[in-house]
Amino acid sequence: MKNYRFSFDEKIFFYFSLLLTLFVRLRFLDAPLERDEGEYAYAGMMILRGQLPYADFYNMKLPGVYYLYALAFKLFGQSVIVIRSLLLIINLLTAFLIFKTAVNWLSKTAAWWAAGVFLLLSFSFHAQGWIANCEQFVNLFVAASLYFLTKKWSPPYLFLCGLMLGFATLMKQHAFHFGFFVAFLWLKEAFNERTFLKSVYSALALGLGYGLPLAVTVVFFWQKGIFDAFYFYIIQYATAYSTLKAQIFDNIDNIAFIMVDNALLWIVLLVAAFQIVKNSFKNPNQTSAYSNPIFQENTEGLNLCILTGIAFVAVCPGWYFRLHYFQYLFVPTSLLMAYALTHYDKYMGQFGQKINRSWFLCISLLLTLAVQAEYIVLKAPDYVTATMYRWHYFSEIRHQVARFLGEHVKEGDTIGQLNYEPEIWFYTNTYGASGFLYAYPLIENHVYASQFVNQYIRETEIKQPEWFVYKNLSEDEKNSSTGRELNNWAVNYLKNYELKGILYADEKLTGRFETNFLSIDTSRSAYLEVYKRKVY
């Protein structure tokens, strides 16, 4: 009788990951926006109305993600579904580019593993994978840059590689770190290349490609007359923010949370990376069999380890270690995991002999499904959002607070906000009274806080918004002297307004917005208060 050997091959793994990705993405297609998505959505909406970042609304991020949202809204309309559909398209394009990169870099078999692993990582719960954060868009352009890098080591492809890295950096400043990997490979090639001019041409191609999107951005804002504001927010304020000490290393345990969702795949990566680095010290002199430095014999694994290390550095600026920052790891680690799975027997040793790759993958996927069962299938998207973002009430803000405002605001009304919820402007299709998208810049302990407070108060008082959504900042852990100053100002300013609604934090994961009351119930915690300007 012929023995049957169970085989869970790379194509089955990829198609399983693809189906699971589509299921999760479609399930969360209309889930409440998180506040970063609210920022991007409001910015995109304002851009379509002719307003400009850094002049009409302010943040420290480069403007790439704002204009990407604006483009999606221009093509398909302004809605939550459009935002989440954009995320799905971005994920699928990224997986395709990872597949093509792995074909060039590793093998066709590894390409299927890499694309499947990336899809699993991209929607993982602890990485806030259902949220259309800018890290997801960074990954698209990083994957594109690696594709051109591995296609051919020649000036035209290196120009395209640099161009994609430039676009990645426009999505968020952290992405510039990936340029160090390209620079490392260029140096490696320059030392091996006998023709000095060829190395110079390669460097020029990379530099021109990388600099072009950034140069166009600078020229655009200079031509609009707001270069000084652009420079201030993305360089000076961003630097002040990244050097804040209050939260340093507070979220270091998020490294463990990120690994929980796909624990066994991360174990394979760590085991393989350890052995690759260890072996590189044993055999430091590698012979080159190819013209492309990324293809040097027996160095694919080491190059992938270096790329993954650089990606981890991209997570670290400011030492905040927020969950979605770890998405910078997903393109490199999907390639490194694929490399490790392709060489499973080599790196897993006796364990690999006892549990072959097919059974290992099945166990890994079952564990992934078990750990994320509530997120993937058991609980409603609103509940999942509330579980991840405890005490923030994104569902109630959308379905109760924004719905109430949407039913009462008139065309052209502005809404003043002293809180952290820019998504309210997007839901209600209104303008903000101030250009500050959040209260965070106003209450953080950086050198510009007092300047921002004065600017916020001046803009709000000039606009005299019809509505105002207020949060007591004295209850926030970021509270500083400027936070108390803002609360004192708000108490006096809101004497000209009438309280119309209160979002109470009734329970740990839910809130209730009430509009019928005689007075504020001081026995309950008020998360947000909604006010309307009095008519005299």
Q: How far is CA 65 from CA 128, 227, 240, 422, 439, in A?
A: 17, 19, 22, 15, 21
Which pLDDT tens digit goes with each residue over 65-112?
A: 999 999 999 999 999 999 999 999 999 999 999 999 999 999 999 999
For the four alpha carbons of 263, 269, 275 and 277, in that order, the dihedral sign comes to: negative
Q: What is the pLDDT of residue 475?
A: 60
* Assessment of whether the complete model's pTM goes beyond 0.85: yes
- In a 3-state reduction of DSSP, which class is residue 432? strand
| CA gap 354, 363 in Å, rounded | 13
The tokens of 17 are what? Answer: 């990951």
Q: Cβ neighbours of residue 203 under 8 Å, at least 6 residues apart?
A: 186
Q: How far is CA 411 from CA 324, 330, 468, 501, in A?
A: 36, 43, 16, 21
pLDDT band at residue 391 under the 50/70/90 scheme:
confident
Q: Is pLDDT of 273 > 80?
A: yes
Q: What are the phi and psi torsion angles at 478 (to 5°)?
A: -85, 0
Beta-strand runs (E) in 25-177: none
Please count the residues of the chain: 536
pLDDT band at residue 193 under the 50/70/90 scheme:
low
| CA gap 167, 18 in Å, rounded | 26
Q: What value does the mean pLDDT of the chain take?
A: 90
For 372-480, where are the alpha helices, taking DSSP H only? Answer: 373, 381-388, 394-396, 403-408, 423-428, 440-443, 449-463
Q: Is 265 left (phi over 0), alpha (psi -120 to 50) or beta?
A: alpha
DSSP code string of 243-290:
T--TTTTTTTTHHHHHHHTTHHHHHHHHHHHHHHHHHHHH---PPP-S
Of the two residues 329 and 527, the one the predictor is more confident about is: 329
Of the two residues 2 and 126, the one the predictor is more confident about is: 126
pLDDT band at residue 295 under the 50/70/90 scheme:
low
Which pLDDT tens digit goes with each residue over 404-462?
A: 999 999 988 999 999 999 999 999 999 999 999 999 999 988 889 999 999 999 999 99
